[in-house]
Amino acid sequence: MTMPCDDAGTSGVQRFEVFTGAGRRRDWPPEVKAAILAESFSGAESVCSVARRHGLSPSQLFTWRRALRKQLEGQGAVAPKVPIFVPAVVEAAPIDEAGIPVRRPTKRRRTKASAVELEIDGVAVKISRGADVGTITAVIEALRATR
C-alpha cells in the first residue's frame, strides 16, 4: 500500500533551513538594559509595549524588573513604585430642570421563555432555545411509547 507521504527522499527539497548559533539569545549591555528597565518603570506605556518595541518577550522584561527589585531590596534601597490601581472617576448623576436626577433606561432581560411547548396525553414538555436535537427526539419518542 502506498501513502501520499511515502515519497520521502524521492521528491526534490522544497525548503531547507540551516540554524547556526544559539538562537535568539542576546547579551544586553548593562546601560541598554538599564534604559529599557527605566522605560518600563516610567508608567508612560505598558510593560508589554516596551518589551515588544525592544524585541523582548514581555516575560523576560518582567523577570528583569523582578531581579532589579530584589537587588535594590537587598541593598536596602527603595524599589521603583509601580501603580497598581487606576484612579476612579466618579461623576454626579445628571439632574434635569426640575431638580430630579435623570435615570438612565435599564435594559430588560429576556426571560427564559420556551421556544416550543408540546402536550402529549396530558404531559407538557417545554423545549427551550439551544436544546439538543437528540435529547428532544428521545423525550418525544419516550412519550409516544407510553401511550
The answer to whether residues 121 and 146 touch, using CB atoms and an 8 Å cutoff, is yes
Give the residue-averaged pLDDT of 134-140: 80
Pairwise CA distance, residues 32 & 51, whole Å: 13
Give CA torsion, residues 38, 44, 45, 50, to 10 deg: -30
DSSP reduced 3-state for 8? coil
Give the residue-averaged pLDDT of 104-124: 67
Q: By mean pLDDT, which of 14-28, 42-56, 98-112 is the weakest? A: 98-112
Between the CA of residue 1 and those of 5, 10, 11, 106, what are the distances in Å? 12, 17, 19, 68
With a pLDDT cut of 90, the percent of the chain lying above it is: 14
Domain positions in the chain are 26-83, 116-145
The answer to whether residues 127 and 143 touch, using CB atoms and an 8 Å cutoff, is no
Pairwise CA distance, residues 56 & 39, whole Å: 13
Q: Angle 43-45-48 (CA atoms, 0-180°, nearest 5)?
A: 115
52-101 pLDDT, tens digit per residue, is 999 888 999 999 999 998 988 888 887 766 666 666 677 776 666 666 66
pLDDT class of 8 with cuts at 50, 70, 90: low
